[in-house]
Amino acid sequence: MYPSIMRESQFQEHNRFFLNMGPQHPSTHGVLLVVLEMDGEYVLDPQPILGFIHRMHEKMGESRPCQGFMPNTARMDYVCALPYNHGYVSLIEKKAGIEVPKRAEYIRVITSELNRVASHLLWLGAYLLDLGAFTPILYGFDDREHILDILEDITGSRLTYCYYRFGGVTQDIDDKFVDATRVFIKRLRKRFDMYEKLVTKNIIFIKRTENIGIISRDMAIRYGITGPNLRGSGIAYDIRKNEPYSVYPEFDFKVPVGQRGDCLDRYMVRVCEMEQSLRIIEQALDMLPEGPVRSKVPKNIKLAPGDCNFAVEAARGELSYYLVGDGTSVPYRLKIRVPSYSNLSCLPELGEGILLPDLVSIMGSLDLVIPEIDR
């Protein structure tokens, strides 16, 4: 189906040509190549081509004891690395039957949610950059910087975290962390008003996103889209609610959903999600139990024969680890289901017969992280 502005005569064969968008292009955000079949400024058929930064993460996971894979988990989605840590440690804990102290789970939730907010802030800036506004990305970076500082204090790194361990976390949080997080939450709430004035209510922004790139409910399910992209289409599916893990059931938070499934809805869902994440962090800080943060874990974890799956809600959608053990400490098979891969797969259908600027807008709104797709 093509928009009414396109006429049949515009589809004549001889007018078509190919345009390589990427692997180096400002708005593919990484080394993604999209081969566009174009007719003037109309995109007829965008085909994403992957594999430019494939690093064999899954194979690496199958060739070393399971502890050794921890740093790799942070290098798939480097924007939101802690949920990736979380998924992997939870998988091994489930497989090997390791108990996790309550305090450690709380710390995991707090840090994961902080990381999610950081990821959404970065996305907000980068999306506006795709739409041609330069300033919001620096505001987003400014706010994100506070989160990175807070996380750096306890995790030791700023981007590729390796903070969680089987049976807990490496280091307990202190009062300084708690105070800094509370100050940050207060600050970010104030900044949301500014973002709303600068971005959400901007008429050019609305014109560039409203009714652009509509993913219907049916289509979202067909492609296996998850995360904010799915919720933007009106399906309230969130792993934290639907298949609760860790201590998420103890917190009161909403799952924001959109209605139309266009770029604006996906934007709104992410903005609302940041507020919900802040609520989770606040509750977790209030309810934070005392106790140890790491349980006794054998040095060599034996993975019993049989398979095991664990899914978490990463910033971009459902991340699930699937592992088959064979009795040794090296996984026999490790499969990682990443959200961006499925989210990208709808691009050829979404991008049919639209204008090039709209394609940039849609790709931005899907919030793709290419190293995660290629793994």
Partner 1 sequence: MEILSTLPPELIRMVFAVIIIISFIFLNAIMMGYLERKIAGHVQRRPGPMEVGSHGILQLVVDGVKLVGKELLIPVNVDRTLFRLAPILSFTPVILPLLVIPFSEKLQARDLNLGLVFIVSMTSINVMAILVAGWGSNNKYSMFGAMRAVAQSIAYEIPILLSMLAVVLMTNTFSLKEIVGAQQNIWFIVLQPLAFIIYIISGVAETNRAPFDLPEAESELTAGFHTEYSGMGFSLFFLGEYTNMFTVASVATVLFLGGWHGPPLPYGEYLGFVWFFLKVYFLLFFMIMIRWTYPRVRFDQLLNFAWKYLVPFSLANILITAVVVKL
Site residues (CB under 8 A) for partner 1? Answer: 5, 17, 19, 25-27, 41, 128-135, 138-139, 142, 198, 202, 204-205, 207-208, 355-358, 360
Residue 43: helix, strand or coil by DSSP?
Answer: strand
Residue number with CB closer to partner 1 (358 or 367): 358
Residue number with CB closer to partner 1 (204 or 304): 204
In the structure, how many helices (H) and strands (E) does the chain have? 15, 9
Positive or negative: CA dihedral 284, 197, 122, 319 = positive
The least CB distance from residue 331 to partner 1, in Å, is 41
CB proximity list for 373: less than 8 A, separation 6 or greater? 32, 50, 338, 340, 341, 344
The least CB distance from residue 332 to partner 1, in Å, is 44
The least CB distance from residue 213 to partner 1, in Å, is 13
Residue number with CB closer to partner 1 (1 or 5): 5
Rg of the chain, C-alpha, whole Å:
21
Residue number with CB closer to partner 1 (50 or 356): 356
The least CB distance from residue 212 to partner 1, in Å, is 9
CA 338 to chain centre: 9
The least CB distance from residue 301 to partner 1, in Å, is 46
Residue number with CB closer to partner 1 (138 or 159): 138
Cα separation, 234 vs 346, whole angstroms: 17
Contact 121, 144 (CB under 8 A): yes
Distance from first CA to last CA of the chain, Å, rounded? Answer: 34
Helix (H) or strand (E) run with residue 214 in it = none
116-119, Cβ contacts within 8 angstroms, sequence gap of 24 or more: 116/80, 116/83, 116/273, 116/274, 116/277, 116/314, 116/315, 117/147, 117/188, 117/274, 117/277, 117/278, 118/79, 118/80, 118/144, 118/147, 118/148, 118/151, 119/79, 119/80, 119/315, 119/316
The least CB distance from residue 67 to partner 1, in Å, is 41
Residue number with CB closer to partner 1 (63 or 135): 135
The least CB distance from residue 205 to partner 1, in Å, is 5
User: What single DSSP character describes residue 68?
Assistant: G
The least CB distance from residue 19 to partner 1, in Å, is 5
For tokens 């049916």, the residue is 218
Residue number with CB closer to partner 1 (102 or 191): 191
Residue number with CB closer to partner 1 (198 or 221): 198
Residue number with CB closer to partner 1 (276 or 361): 361
Cα separation, 212 vs 214, whole angstroms: 6
Cα separation, 28 vs 46, whole angstroms: 13
CB proximity list for 289: less than 8 A, separation 6 or greater? 102, 103, 106
The least CB distance from residue 65 to partner 1, in Å, is 44
